[in-house]
Structure 1
Amino acid sequence: MSVLVISPGRNPEAWVRELKNQHPGMNIVVYPEQHDDEEVEYAITWKHPRGIFKNYPNLKVIASMGAGVDHITSDPEIPEDVIITRVVDKQLRVDMCSFVLALVMDNLRNISIHHCSKSWEPKKYKRIQDTHIGIMGLGELGSGVAENLKINGFKVSGWAKSKKEIDGINTYSSEEQDEFLEELDILVCLLPLTKETENILNKDLFDKLPKGAYLINVARGEHLEEQHLLDAVNSGQLSGAALDVFRKEPLPEEHPFWENENIFITPHIASVTDPKHVVPQLVENYERMTEEEELLNVVTQEKGY
């Protein structure tokens, strides 16, 4: 039996090293090195070539290297009987919480604006207690961000497909989107990427926000209609945006986002998976698979999360 590591564009050396440290007897092959397709029962991946998993007749599990699984579930040729798993990591949650808080505070206190303007003219700032932040997506990361912002004194609301219960935070279901949006100063997107959420950050949604609201997208680039954002920022409907994810990464040099002074860009750094933190989960699921036990953090293919 073999474990296949397949991550084009991402150096797998640290992952292989940690897998061997955690499970010395594991037979690991790294795509595209030569291997026996029939021997592979467990695959660990990030952004695999589309359709490749249909070549493995004995594949049982596809494990994402990160919290996101849309790079797997969006492949229409994933075998239906294969189990998909994701990573749930406390450090990813902590990193995301601190990153979003940093973006929020930068927006409130105009730190980047003052730095870039090279001017001594003070700009009026906003206060924490006067700022209402909405979180779209209340999964592991979204709920953590909501709770962290609440602890730091912000008024926080949350929106998800189904209504959630989070202490001290008003939450809304998918049918209550208009009510959720109508009083927000800042909107943070932490939704999973599914057919229902693709392009959800669009003109219709922006028009439901109060004029001058601010957008933070730390989920997926495919959530955002890019031209709709540019139009909303240029018209003043949105005061600006902070974007950490994009449809094409790295963001091309000629992309108009680079030229817009009210759109802040970071290179997908909000929350980066560390192999040392997550490989133990991958190894445990490998052992559970070999013992025919129930796996951890299983994804429902129909839902996409």
Structure 2
Amino acid sequence: MAFVYKADPVRGAEWARLFAAKAPEIPFHIWPDIGLPERVRYLAAWTLPEGFERQFPNVELVFSTGAGVDQFDLSKVPPALPVVRLAEPGVVAGMVEYATMAVLALHRDLPAYIEQQRQGKWAAHRVHAAAKRRVGILGMGVLGRAVLTQLRGFGFQLAGWSRTRHEFEGVTCYAGESELWGMLAATDILVCLLPLTSETRDILDAKLLNALPRGASLVHVGRGAQLDHQALLDALDSGWISSAVVDVTAPEPLPANHRFWSHPRILLTPHTASMTQPETAVDLVLENIRRHQAGEPLAGLVSRDKGY
């Protein structure tokens, strides 16, 4: 049985070193070197090669090298072939760091101070206690719950929304379309951590942004196709939204003349909120291979119905 890695080759070299140390019995190949195609049982990829199921007729598991699978066309993956996403500890830790940084930056008016520095302006803004700031998270999966856990320590008033009902200590939980709007109306800083599905595409539109209180802020670390760029610009220019931290866009990278680059109320980063860490990712992959061979449930198995 062999393993093929098709993603960033620099990280692939780290995966190869870790496989050699932890699972030397599994031949490891970095695309386009695939070895003997009929021996390949496991494929890890950011994007799937066209016709991979014919190229690798004996493949048993497909891994996404990221925490999501929206970059896959699941309709082209045989229904019986398990697809696993890598919501591994390194990805989770990175997202917790970034989301916490972003929420605190907006809470303490960092975009305004950055713009004042550019202007040579010395002016203090009122400091509000975290206990009076309402932070809402869209998406209560592994990433959302980890971010909420971290933010809880600062004393923020926390809320979380998801498609299905959750219970989480210290967090007011909302579920379903009917409860979304009530949560938005009571949110000062909104963090989008939703997976990209047909239901969440373009969810951050004018209607949603206008459902937030005047002066609210946005942290967007979900997927680029969820955000209506013009709606955010209009909301910022009108003062309805005070500031935003944006890590994901569509397209990536943005065109050179896009207003996000220069808007004084936007902090823009190039899709770096979180990245799969080879050490923890390989451990999770090897554990899932073990589980698969033992007939046990897989960690991170994708539901075809949900799309994540």
TM-score per shorter chain, which class?
over 0.9
Contact 2:111–2:265 (CA under 8 A) maintained in structure 1: no
The structural deviation recorded for 1:106 is 1.4
The structural deviation recorded for 1:257 is 0.7
Provide the rounded CA distance (Å) in 1 between the counterparts of 2:293 and 2:266. Answer: 48
The structural deviation recorded for 1:34 is 5.0
| Partner residue of 1:155 out of 131, 154, 157 | 157
Matched, 1:29 2:32: no
The structural deviation recorded for 1:121 is 2.1
Unaligned ranges ≥5, structure 2 = none
Q: Deviations over 1:101-151 (max 9, x none)?
A: 211221122234323422212233433121101100001110111222122
Contact 1:8–1:47 (CA under 8 A) maintained in structure 2: no
Cα gap change, 1:173 to 1:294, in 2 (>3 Å): closer
The structural deviation recorded for 1:50 is 5.1
SS in 1 for 2:261: helix
Q: What percentage of residue pairs aligned between the two structures are identical?
A: 34
For 1:133, give the aligned amino acid.
V
Contact 1:190–1:218 (CA under 8 A) maintained in structure 2: yes
Provide the rounded CA distance (Å) in 1 between the counterparts of 2:15 and 2:179. Answer: 42
Cα gap change, 1:51 to 1:146, in 2 (>3 Å): farther
Q: Count residues with an aligned counterpart.
A: 304
Which residue number corresponds to residue 97 of structure 2?
Answer: 98
Provide the rounded CA distance (Å) in 1 between the counterparts of 2:54 and 2:224. Answer: 27
Matched, 1:80 2:82: no
Q: Deviations over 1:220-267 (max 9, x none)?
A: 111111122112212222112101112222333222210211111012
Provide the rounded CA distance (Å) in 2 between the counterparts of 1:91 and 1:34. Answer: 27
Matched, 1:196 2:199: yes
Contact 1:5–1:31 (CA under 8 A) maintained in structure 2: yes
Cα gap change, 1:293 to 1:177, in 2 (>3 Å): closer
Matched, 1:250 2:249: no
Which residue number corresponds to residue 279 of structure 1?
Answer: 282
Contact 1:51–1:78 (CA under 8 A) maintained in structure 2: no
Cα gap change, 1:223 to 1:262, in 2 (>3 Å): same
Matched, 1:134 2:133: no
Matched, 1:7 2:7: yes
Alpha-carbon RMSD: 2.0
Provide the rounded CA distance (Å) in 1 between the counterparts of 2:50 and 2:198. Answer: 17
Cα gap change, 1:8 to 1:90, in 2 (>3 Å): closer
Cα gap change, 1:237 to 1:53, in 2 (>3 Å): farther
Point out the more displaced range, 157-166 or 10-19: 10-19
Q: Deviations over 1:265-301 (max 9, x none)?
A: 0122222221011201101222333444443321111
Cα gap change, 1:303 to 1:237, in 2 (>3 Å): same
* TM-score, with length taken from structure 2: 0.91
Which residue number corresponds to residue 175 of structure 2?
Answer: 173
For 1:221, give the aligned amino acid.
G
Q: How does 1:189-268 map to 2 (within 5 A)?
A: 189-268=192-271
The structural deviation recorded for 1:51 is 4.9
Unaligned ranges ≥5, structure 1 = none
